[in-house]
Amino acid sequence: MKISIVIVTYNSENHIFDCLESIFLFNDIGNQLEIIIVDNSVKDSEPLFNAIKNCYPNNRIKLIKNEKNGGYGQGNNVGISQAEGDVILIMNPDVRLMMPIFNDAIAVFESKNAVMFGMTQMVSETTKGLSFYTINPSIPIINVLEVVIRNRFGLYSQKTMCISGACFFLDKKSFEEINLFDENIFMYGEENDIHYRFRKLLPKKKIIFNPNLKYLHLVDGRFPDIQTKKKMLQATIYFCKKNSLNVSQLIQNEIIGVKFWIVIEKLKGKKDYSTFYSKWLIELKKLQ
């Protein structure tokens, strides 16, 4: 077994079958690949599991009903504990593969002293998303511009950028060395924490990004909401406190960044987005 794909589901019936179909379509390593699905749903998992078994009776798929919904990271840790592969692919149910990627990933981990490997995130067949973003931004407006420009041209920096958590590879042994996902983070911000620990605890290892390998993440047109932004901010605040970083500065930087985005969205004529960011700005100011 070379690669184990871990997919955490939560009421993901509308996504998981197309996700699996894309994996099998672009599987370039045959039976050296296994898939582990960990269902965090509070409802009965048997109907979903039976449907998967009926669709893919001859494929190597492990189906695990999580004993609790401990969050995204905890669910992934459950899956990783059952993984036989030396390389782990963490994959969201709303991700679709667009090309063969597994042989390339194996080559990276075998030859480049890598602990983590990322690829270009597409939000449509022709539109790039954010494949990576700035860690602990200090000058918000400059950081926003840097993220946009670097993503546009695939210019990843291991020192300053964190790879998106929707679909990325990990070296299992190295990930176990840094104690897997932090289960205190329920959802959002896990990749930032993982990147930080890799850089701190295994500084000689490499985090590799290949702009030529692509996957599709179905978030195009998904409008942001305040509750999600709050959860993301809570995760970031936890990360800052855990690593003795300045929370007040984080919130101030977020406020500056949101003001910048309000101007940008107004200039683009996107009133609904500028209105959303204005509402989010009000929430952020309550934390000052």
Q: Identify the CATH assignment for 3-217 out of 3.30.1490.100, 3.90.550.10, 3.40.640.10, 3.90.1150.10.
A: 3.90.550.10
pLDDT in tens, 229-273: 999 999 999 999 999 988 998 899 889 889 988 998 999 898 999
Q: Which amino acid type is present at position 195?
A: H
Checking DSSP bridges between strand 206-217 and strand 114-122, what pairing results, if any? Answer: parallel
* pLDDT for the residue 43: 84
Q: Which amino acid type is present at position 65?
A: K
Burial of 243-258, coded b for 16+ CB within 10 Å and e otherwise, reads eeeeeeebbebbbebb
- Count of Cβ atoms closer than 10 Å to residue 69 Cβ: 15
What is the percent of the chain where pLDDT is above 90? 80
Candidates 184, 161, 166; CA nearest to 243 is 184
Q: Exposed (0-12), middle (13-18) or buried (19+): which is 104, by Cβ within 10 Å? A: middle
CA-based radius of gyration for the chain: 19
Burial of 146-185, coded b for 16+ CB within 10 Å and e otherwise, reads bbeebbeeeebebebbbbbbbbbbbbbebbeebebbbbeb
Instruction: Give the DSSP per-residue string, 202-270.
Output: -TTSEEEEEEEEEEEES-TT----HHHHHHHHHHHHHHHHHTT--HHHHHHHHHHHHHHHHHHHHHTT-
Tell me the domain boundaries of the chain: 3-217, 226-285
* pLDDT for the residue 135: 75
Checking DSSP bridges between strand 33-39 and strand 3-9, what pairing results, if any? Answer: parallel
Model pTM above 0.85: yes
Quick check: helix, strand or coil at residue 37? Answer: strand
Whether the per-residue pLDDT at 58 is higher than 70: the answer is yes
Task: Identify the sign of the CA torsion 219, 220, 222, 224.
Answer: positive
pLDDT in tens, 170-205: 999 999 999 999 999 998 989 999 999 999 999 999
Whether the per-residue pLDDT at 136 is higher than 70: the answer is no
* pLDDT for the residue 180: 98
Q: Please state, in angstroms and rounded to a whole number, the distance separating the CA atoms of residues 118 and 107.
A: 13
State the pLDDT confidence band at 148, using cuts at 50, 70 and 90.
confident
Q: Please state, in angstroms and rounded to a whole number, the distance separating the CA atoms of residues 201 and 112.
A: 18
Query: For residue 31, what is the DSSP state?
Result: G
Whether the per-residue pLDDT at 69 is higher than 90: the answer is yes
* pLDDT for the residue 25: 97
